[in-house]
Chains A and B, each alone.
Chain A
Amino acid sequence: MALELPDQVVVTKLDALANWCRKNSLWPMPFATACCGIELMATGASRHDVARFGAEAFRFTPRQCDLMIVAGRVVMKMLPVLQRIWQQMLEPKWCISMGACASSGGVFDTYAVVQGIDRFIPVDIYIPGCPPRPEQLIQAIIDLQDLIEREGTVEGVEFRLRERQQPKRALLELPVIDGPVRSG
């Protein structure tokens, strides 16, 4: 059945429209705690110009952001702050773990450094490197845009899929002596 439409009318799915809007206007929350933050700033500056990918609006309040970029090591005193900021961000939201420290603790395998933020908050994209180049961060944003376009829905049901609910890897825990050190 052919349908005659005027030139200025486009037919699409609501999901595709929402994904197109979301992926081209990611608002990053820069959670920069270490040297990766410098590369993050370089990515936002004119030479690399992340505005080409619609993610130039860095906001320092989580309530205006939908993309958390964790750039740098997170210590056990900082993790509750990270979790609170993540909870304050509005859905739909995504998380990029930038660099070796945020993804795995890096070389800082000590009592105070969290060995990968994906143990405690959901992560969508990991970036290797110490620190990663701005091109890698831009590639991660492009990959995230592809991910949003591929699986996004207007109601965000993809976040409730079982595989996205799972913690990213097995927690190999050391025994905790003397009961909990910090309760939620």
Chain B
Amino acid sequence: MGAKDGPLNEETIAAWRTEGLLDEASSFRGQQRLIVPRSSLRRTAGRLRDELRFDMLIDVTCVDYLAHPRRHEVAERFGLVYQLLRTEDVARLTLRVFVGETTPCVESLVPLWESANWLEREVWDLFGIRFEGHPDLRRILLPEPFRAHPLRKDYPLQGLGERHNFPVLRRGEG
């Protein structure tokens, strides 16, 4: 896989790697992917926005690698995925950040892209990954009293009884 097929050329990749902005770069069928150390996510994303003009954050999502057949290939249990877009030439870029399962936390990208607000809330809601510096980190899909993060692979599909924990209305009451 040639890492140069994408918006970042080899010189930039080498320079950024020495600065500690990224760990690894690869590309597959013209789509480039950067693996970024957790500590430098905000810096790398800021450079991508300001120097390479990636002006749009399309999506933030997460993969839980618990019991995944290729778990040994990734450093940590959770892999965050950021999809970036440069609107002037429709160039796309994927950022990956890995976080561990004990108090998973990364820096929020809301200061860079407003669209990160709801996307990060969704990842918090369903995977339980905290975003440091997020202005309003509340659940977005599930009801607020919900305790678990149900897209984690150790959460049972049918839940822990939350769906049946409601009052029963009878005839002639209320």
Binding site for B on A (CB under 8 A): 76-77, 79-80, 83, 86-87, 109-115, 119-122, 159-160, 164-165, 167, 171, 173-178, 180-182, 184
Nearest CB on A from B125, distance (A) = 12
Contact with A along B133-172 (1 / 0, CB 8 A): 0000000001101110010000111111111111111111
Query: B161 near A121 (CB under 8 angstroms)?
Result: no
Q: Which residues of the partner chain A approach B69 to less than 8 Å between Cβ atoms?
A: none
Nearest CB on B from A9, distance (A) = 36
**Interface centre among A115, A164, A173, A176, by most B CB within 10 Å?**
A176
Nearest CB to that of B144 among chain A residues? A182
A133 to B106, CA, bound (A): 50
Query: B161 near A175 (CB under 8 angstroms)?
Result: yes
Given contacts A164-B171, A178-B147, contact A111 B157 (CB under 8 A): yes
Nearest CB to that of A177 among chain B residues? B160
Query: A111 near B167 (CB under 8 angstroms)?
Result: no
Query: B160 near A175 (CB under 8 angstroms)?
Result: yes
A83 to B170, CA, bound (A): 11
Nearest CB on A from B156, distance (A) = 7
A87 to B162, CA, bound (A): 22
Q: Which residues of the partner chain A approach B160 to less than 8 Å between Cβ atoms?
A: 111, 174-177
Query: B169 near A182 (CB under 8 angstroms)?
Result: no
Query: A76 near B167 (CB under 8 angstroms)?
Result: no
Q: Which residues of the partner chain B approach A178 to less than 8 Å between Cβ atoms?
A: 147
A38 to B156, CA, bound (A): 32
Nearest CB to that of B163 among chain A residues? A76
Given contacts A120-B167, A122-B170, A160-B172, contact A182 B143 (CB under 8 A): yes
Query: A76 near B143 (CB under 8 angstroms)?
Result: yes
Query: B143 near A77 (CB under 8 angstroms)?
Result: yes
Query: B161 near A173 (CB under 8 angstroms)?
Result: yes
Query: A119 near B170 (CB under 8 angstroms)?
Result: no
Q: Which residues of the partner chain B approach A184 to less than 8 Å between Cβ atoms?
A: 166-167
Nearest CB to that of A178 among chain B residues? B147
Q: Which residues of the partner chain A approach B174 to less than 8 Å between Cβ atoms?
A: 87
A122 to B171, CA, bound (A): 7
Nearest CB on B from A163, distance (A) = 10
Q: Which residues of the partner chain B approach A120 to less than 8 Å between Cβ atoms?
A: 166-169
Contact with A along B98-142 (1 / 0, CB 8 A): 000000000000000000000000000000000000000000001
